[in-house]
Amino acid sequence: MPSITFLIVLHNHQPVGNFDDVFEAVYQSAYRPFLEVLDRHPVVPVGLHVSGCLFDWLETRHPEYLESVSRLRERGQIELLTGGYFEPVLPAIGEADRFAQIARHRAYLESRFGATPTGLWLAERVWEPDLPRTLVDAGIDYTLLDDSHFQTAGLRSEQLWRCWVTEDQGRALRVLPISRELRYTIPFRPPETTLDLLRRRAAEAPDRVAVLGDDGEKFGGWPDTHRAVYEDGWLDRFFTLLEENQDWIRLRFPGDAAAAEPEGKVYLPAASYPEMMEWALPAREQIRIHALARDLEPRGPEIAKFIRGGFWRNFLARYPESDHMHKRVAALRERVDDLDRRKTAVRQRILDRIHAAQCNCAYWHGVFGGLYLPHLRDAVYRRLLEAETLLEEQEHEDRSWVEAETGDYDSDGHEELRVANADLTVVVSPREGGSLREVSYKPLAVALTNGLTRRREAYHGRVARAVVRGSDGGPEGGSIHDRVLAKEAGLQNRLHVDAYRRASLVDHWLRGDARLADFDRGTHGEQGDFLGHPYEVSIARSDQGVTALLRRTGTVWKGGEPHRVAVEKRLRLAAGASRLEAAYGLELLGPVPLDTRFGVEWNLGLLAGDSPLHGYRIPGVEPSASRLGSRGVTEGVEEMACVDGHRGFEVRLRWDRPATLWRLPVETVSLSEDGFERIYQSSCLLPHWTVALDPGEVFRVTLSLEVGRIP
């Protein structure tokens, strides 16, 4: 009977900042029972990669799992693979950090298990052609990539069952192709289906190598898989079949297959697994590529393989919030290089936090929540702000400092403004209406503006036909890529899309008849050309602090007639203060009086819209109606607060003219493993005023944001 080599490689990972109960649930449903079943089948070898952030949690909560791994490894049943410790996308970080992340993970495996790994699990299989040099110089002999990587390089389907070699600058790296058909079959089809697949592939050519490389969470942690994999005995049956068919299925470690003579040399383009490359495209293009793939499918896989999406870095262009975090971490990393290298201990503490902030999960979005999960973004910000605080303590002798500087921090061809003191870091985008991209409170390492803009996603067209999980007719089983479920009914009515980036100090000119619901849906009809348009910026320094002057002359429409208006806002930040002030002046330049409504939007992301520990404090509004997920209109407001009782602080907003205050939650509809879900991203607050201006008259209002701890 024709034979085939079969490799099983599992990747276990939980993001930095994920909830402890999520770690625990996946441990109990997937990680622990998989090893228990594996233990009952001693002839089945498995390649195993566990990320450093998951190892950290296991050391504290379930060291018995690590003992099981050690015992099974000593028995010759587990080969450990290394990777970046905090599971970064390696091409997205600098060379020094690539080496540091891999070295830390390898050192842990050597110390904890006595293992010297030669294989590396590449986070999200994000490949760029310069990686062989990095990996080989880091002591790596081989990695695994999806078969689609090889197909886009021009290899035929029959060539995808061998080990290949690639290189960069003379560093040769072995690469094993992961089978997509195995990923989609295991464990969603009966075990016999996989055996039939392996039998067919073995019959096609001798000495083939079939590789299953996938997330360990799919064996019990994905929806409905625990029952099938363990309670119904899928994994036990599968391993038993492998044992019973060893006469033609050669069970090996990935390192054994990678050490064999390679089939040949191949140069692979920048890529990831097919789903990731689709998700990286703009929503409209995702829909088009699906349609194109359907049209070409009848022409066979040798034509369809050339259809590919974007690549991972496209997420930084699709989601400016992701790009902002990425560039903030990168800029901070550069500042570390200027730190006195003799300060070894503090330098390492800073780098530890920067490396944790490089965990990939909060930077992208596909089937998994990723970027759409506020607590994952918060975890990135927390680490980078802790690192920033440690670094600033070395850069400044005491807390009596304040600084301002401009630069193209996000490399988009436009300058931003960074204003900071010991308490606050503020990043201003003059190009985007002089708005605040970030306001962070460093004593508690909290990004107050950790929100997300509502955008159209390719899967939004399926929301209306999604079945509510648990209702009659809800689909069970199958791959998460094929399911259309929802966590609640009516989500199609919440698919609002923002026409501008959700930020703070966003200037609005409103129609007289605009209402809160119109503003929520984005149908309020902006009456000025200030929103999202560039402001000029200049900086003044004094003994009292730093003032940034932002100014734009534009047009406000009323009754179909244009009015020239100059808007000036002065941002003031003093040394040692946790208070940011914005003084506005609106001057009518034209000859005709103007009656209008002017508002200043804040978006504060405090993680929990429905928690009793989080809420508003607004005069005249009952506490029972004041959670951050509430919405409403309150007249005559001069001050308010957003309270985060969980982390122990409040954000106080004040303005020196009574205003009409609109408040509403910014909620997205996104896709997760469990289906479509509504997620609170931030609280939108819009104080606004009726403004009546005669020619040459100036309307003035001063707003402030102040952060303070609460008992």
Q: 621-643: per-residue pLDDT in tens?
A: 988 889 999 999 999 999 999 99
- Provide the Cα torsion 356, 360, 363, 369; round to 10°: -110
Tokens representing residue 708 in the block? 């303070």
Return d(Cα 369, Cα 67) in angstroms, integer.
Answer: 32
Each residue of 225-262: pLDDT tens digit?
999 999 999 999 999 999 999 999 999 999 999 999 99
- Label residues 439-466 b or e (16+ Cβ within 10 Å = b): bbbbebbbbbbbbbbbbebbbbeebeeb
Tell me, what's the pLDDT at 476? 43
Judge contact between 509 and 528, C-beta under 8 A: yes
Tell me, what's the pLDDT at 465? 81
DSSP 64-112: HHHHHHHHHHHTT-EEE-B--TT-B-GGGS-HHHHHHHHHHHHHHHHHH
Judge contact between 67 and 112, C-beta under 8 A: no
DSSP state of 127: B
pLDDT winner (highest mean) among 280-289, 352-361, 459-468: 352-361
User: CA angle, corner 369, sides to 389 and 455, nearest 5?
Assistant: 90
Return d(Cα 92, Cα 61) in angstroms, integer.
Answer: 31
Tell me, what's the pLDDT at 473? 42
Each residue of 135-188: pLDDT tens digit?
999 999 999 999 999 999 999 999 999 999 999 999 999 999 999 999 999 999
Instruction: Confirm whether 656 is a catalytic residue.
Output: no
- Which positions ≥6 away from 82 have C-beta within 8 Å? 49, 102, 105, 106, 109, 117, 119, 120, 121, 140
pLDDT band at residue 290 using 50, 70 and 90 as cut-offs? confident
Tell me, what's the pLDDT at 462? 87
Tokens representing residue 598 in the block? 């002017």
Strands ordered across the beta sheet of 164-168: 119-120, 142-146, 171-178, 164-168
Taken in order of first residue, the domains within the chain and their CATH numbers are: 4-270 (3.20.110.20), 273-312 (no CATH), 324-424 (no CATH), 493-709 (2.70.98.10)
Q: What is the CA radius of gyration of the chain?
A: 28
Which residue did the predictor score with more confidence, 485 or 601? 601
Angle of helix 234-244 relative to helix 32-39, nearest 10 degrees, comes to: 30
> Where is 254: in which H helix or E strand?
helix 254-259
Q: What is the mean pLDDT of residues 276-295?
A: 89
The DSSP bridge pattern shows strands 506-510 and 594-604 to be antiparallel
Task: Tell me the torsion sign for CA atoms 105, 108, 112, 114.
Answer: positive
Return d(Cα 350, Cα 553) in angstroms, integer.
Answer: 43
3 state SS of 591 = coil
Place of tokens 């962070």: 440
Q: What is the mean pLDDT of residues 315-332?
A: 97
Tell me, what's the pLDDT at 672? 83
Tell me, what's the pLDDT at 94? 96
Judge contact between 362 and 321, C-beta under 8 A: no
Residue 431 confidence (pLDDT) above 90: yes
Which residue did the predictor score with more confidence, 142 or 288? 142
Return d(Cα 556, Cα 594) in angstroms, integer.
Answer: 9
Each residue of 90-132: pLDDT tens digit?
999 999 999 999 999 999 999 999 999 999 999 999 999 999 9
Return d(Cα 315, Cα 322) in angstroms, integer.
Answer: 7
pLDDT band at residue 341 using 50, 70 and 90 as cut-offs? confident
Tokens representing residue 129 in the block? 């052609």
Tokens representing residue 656 in the block? 């020196």
Nearest in space to 460 (alpha carbons), one of 476, 479, 484:
484
Tell me, what's the pLDDT at 475? 38
3 state SS of 696 = coil
The DSSP bridge pattern shows strands 594-604 and 579-588 to be unpaired
Q: Which residues are registered as beta bridge partners of 606?
A: none
DSSP state of 359: B
- Provide the Cα torsion 361, 367, 371, 375; round to 10°: -80
3 state SS of 613 = coil
Helix-, strand-, coil-residue percentages of the chain, each rounded to 5: 35, 30, 35
Return d(Cα 600, Cα 507) in angstroms, integer.
Answer: 5
Tell me, what's the pLDDT at 1? 78
Q: Which residues are registered as beta bridge partners of 566?
A: 553, 587
Mean pLDDT of the chain: 94
DSSP 422-484: SSEEEEEETTTTTEEEEEEEGGGTEETT--------GGGGGGGGPEETTSTT---SS-GGG--
Tokens representing residue 109 in the block? 């495996």
3 state SS of 600 = strand
Q: What Cα–Cα distance (Å) separates residue 418 from each residue in 258, 384, 426?
A: 49, 15, 6
Tokens representing residue 698 in the block? 């100036």
Instruction: Confirm whether 397 is a catalytic residue.
Output: no
Return d(Cα 280, Cα 294) in angstroms, integer.
Answer: 19
Catalytic residue among 87, 97, 124, 323: 124
Which residue did the predictor score with more confidence, 474 or 266? 266
Tell me, what's the pLDDT at 477? 45
| pLDDT cut 70: percent of the chain above it | 97
Place of tokens 């055996």: 195
Residue 291 confidence (pLDDT) above 90: no
Return d(Cα 507, Cα 530) in angstroms, integer.
Answer: 7
Each residue of 53-87: pLDDT tens digit?
999 999 999 999 999 999 999 999 999 999 999 99
Residue 386 confidence (pLDDT) above 60: yes
Angle of helix 95-113 relative to helix 52-61, nearest 10 degrees, comes to: 30
Return d(Cα 212, Cα 98) in angstroms, integer.
Answer: 26
Tell me, what's the pLDDT at 227? 96
C-alpha distance across the termini of the chain, in Å: 74
pLDDT band at residue 469 using 50, 70 and 90 as cut-offs? low
Catalytic residue among 215, 243, 415, 488: 215
Tell me, what's the pLDDT at 303? 74
Tell me, what's the pLDDT at 474? 39
Tell me, what's the pLDDT at 338? 87
Judge contact between 255 and 340, C-beta under 8 A: no
Return d(Cα 597, Cα 124) in angstroms, integer.
Answer: 48
Return d(Cα 207, Cα 184) in angstroms, integer.
Answer: 23
